[in-house]
Amino acid sequence: MGSVSELPGRDALKTRAVPSMILSNGDASSMTPAPASIIESDATIGAQKRFAVKGNAIVTGGAGTLGLHSCNALLEHGLRGLMIFDVNPDNSKTEIAQMQAKFSTATILTQKVDVTDEIAVQKAMEETVRLLGSIDTLVCFVGVVGCVETLEMPVSQWRKILDINTTGSFICAQAAARQMVRQKTQGSITFIASISAHRVNYPQPQVAYNVSKSALIMLKSCLAAEWALYGIRINSVSPGYMDTILNEGDGIAQHRRIWAERNPSGRMGSPSELTGAIVLLASTAGTYINGSDIVVDGGGIVF
């Protein structure tokens, strides 16, 4: 990262050249052509083609509960190759082995990756291409949360949460997009944001997490504008409170009660309820969805 001394002085600003975005024109020779609008004579084939997931995907944080459910869903819809990036994929060794047995015709692999290390991420992307042949989809689940009174929060915790949740997602997206551009193929990138990106959580204080996720929403929009020229769609999904190990334990029982009481559906979400949005954005049904955020929270965001 450049130092302040490397930034242009005030006089240099007068002669600087500012780059401009180039948008696709959408014609048949572009990377964003309109697909043929066909009604299949066979309903089963039509349903299969509508939500078909093609090629290979990288899922960061794919060894976690939400990541594993989404990996399974993508494979169910035709994903040919899957690479899971996780800081400790061995934590879900049994579940991943079961997935490999279930989808025996697909290639399912893992790599231990720290998403905040751009050199490690680049090497992992190159290894993925070597093993799978291409990168067509990226889904970024990696994220950490910290609940602490803001007056007492160490600045180091603030930096770590933003580094993993926001910068880590950017590093992975940039590396994947560069490969997609080299391939001259269309691609899909999905960030996992949160309802925390849309409104302040209650009752727990978690300002760093909320800011990191709201930054992902803007990152998604910026990249959707810049990278559409290359046929790369960027979207996000904002889950509400999901019933995973991260939200278990007697220590947050009171919080769980409050979360349920403030939700029209009266409960937390099941991991399987997030998979539909993930599949949609990666599938042929999502080819005109770009720069969008899909909220999956049982209606909690309406309050």
Domains identified in the chain and CATH numbers:
42-297 (3.40.50.720)
- Characterize the bridge pairing of strands 293-296 and 232-239: parallel
In whole angstroms, give the CA distance from residue 157 to residue 130: 36
d(CA 165, CA 173): 12
The runs of H, that is alpha helices, within 51-201 are: 65-76, 93-102, 118-132, 155-162, 168-183
Q: Is 144 exposed, middle or buried (0-12, 13-18, 19+ CB in 10 A)?
A: middle
Tokens 């220590």 correspond to 251
- The stretch 15-33 carries a mean pLDDT of 93
pLDDT tens digits for range 70-126: 999 999 999 999 999 999 999 999 999 999 999 999 999 999 999 999 999 999 999
Are the C-beta atoms of 169 and 142 separated by less than 8 Å?
yes
Record the tokens describing residue 279, joined without a space: 């599949």
The full length of the chain comes to 303
pLDDT at res. 1 = 47
Q: What is the pLDDT of residue 16?
A: 83
pLDDT, one tens digit per residue, over 253-291 is 889 888 888 999 999 999 999 999 999 999 999 999 999
- List, by residue number, the catalytic residues: 194, 209, 213
In Å, how far are 89, 119, 167 from 196, measured between CA atoms? 26, 30, 17
Q: Looking at residue 267, what DSSP letter applies?
A: S
